[in-house]
A = this chain, B = another copy of it.
Amino acid sequence: MSETLAQQAYKDLKQRILEGTIKTGDLLTERTLAIESGISRTPLRAAISRLQKEGVVSRLTNGTLMVLPVTVEQLLEIVQVRRLMEGAAAARAAERPMTTALNQSRQIMQAYVEGKDVAFDSFWMDDDAFHEAVAEAADLHLLPAMLREMRSIARRCTITRTHDRFAEQAAEHIAVIDAIEARDPAAAVAAMEAHFDSVRSRFLGWLARP
């Protein structure tokens, strides 16, 4: 089952944006992108249409294509929504068997607590794995895709990248996993909510810096 040119272009473009090779606020032109991809504008436009629907790129009123900046307001809203959703997911996960993915995530997080130092994108992937493991342990099948969507937005916000207290975040993740393992839903939701409260106050603290 081969991918269409449009699908390939979509994946390629999205990856470049998530990696930061193409930056939020950058303007794109269909012809240039089409030439770079070795395809014509038609499938390229289909790929762009899809990215538009996901809020990754936006057409300005004159048709110009821009990689959509993500505002602080949007970022804070995502933190709030995820706090609700992932808190509930952690409580559900605590009522179900412990998973291999959660165990693996805990080991990875332990390394950060002990001082492991990596680039933002590496930590982001381990962070991805943690949140995905919780959602899957909760048997919530729509949640992983929703998380991916929201996390892809958050990743594009410039403040997110100022966020470098990996050891603290790792410790918060471990607290969630421990509560899930202990089959304590109340502790699990509290730990997950504390994690997001902590994320939020870091963002606000960055904003409020003198």
- The verdict on A104 contacting chain B, using a C-beta distance below 8 Å, is no
Enumerate chain B residues within 8 angstroms of A66, measured Cβ to Cβ. Answer: 60
Copies of this protein chain in the complex: 2
- The verdict on A207 contacting chain B, using a C-beta distance below 8 Å, is yes
Cα distance A155–B73 in the bound complex, in angstroms: 18
Enumerate chain B residues within 8 angstroms of A80, measured Cβ to Cβ. Answer: 210
**Contact present for A207 and B210 (CB under 8 Å):** no
Cα distance A29–B62 in the bound complex, in angstroms: 9
**Contact present for B27 and A207 (CB under 8 Å):** no
**Contact present for A207 and B72 (CB under 8 Å):** yes
Cα distance A73–B69 in the bound complex, in angstroms: 14
Give chain B nearest CB distance to A209 CB in angstroms: 9
A167-207 near B? 1/0 per residue, CB < 8 Å: 00000000000000000000000000000000010001001
From B26, B64, B210, give the contact of A64 (CB < 8 A).
Answer: B64
- The verdict on A107 contacting chain B, using a C-beta distance below 8 Å, is no
Segment 69-109 of A: residues with Cβ below 8 Å from B: 71-73, 76, 80
For A66, A204, A207, A210, the residue with the greatest tally of chain B CB atoms inside 10 Å of its CB is: A207
Enumerate chain B residues within 8 angstroms of A76, measured Cβ to Cβ. Answer: 207-208
- The verdict on A61 contacting chain B, using a C-beta distance below 8 Å, is yes
From B60, B71, B210, give the contact of A72 (CB < 8 A).
Answer: B71
Enumerate chain B residues within 8 angstroms of A29, measured Cβ to Cβ. Answer: 62
Cα distance A73–B73 in the bound complex, in angstroms: 11
24 contacts between A and B (CB under 8 A): A26-B61, A27-B60, A27-B61, A27-B62, A27-B64, A29-B62, A60-B64, A60-B66, A62-B64, A64-B64, A71-B71, A71-B72, A72-B72, A72-B73, A72-B207, A73-B207, A76-B207, A76-B208, A80-B210, A200-B208, A204-B204, A204-B207, A204-B208, A207-B207
A interface residues, Cβ below 8 angstroms from B: 26-27, 29, 60-62, 64, 66, 71-73, 76, 80, 200, 204, 207-208, 210
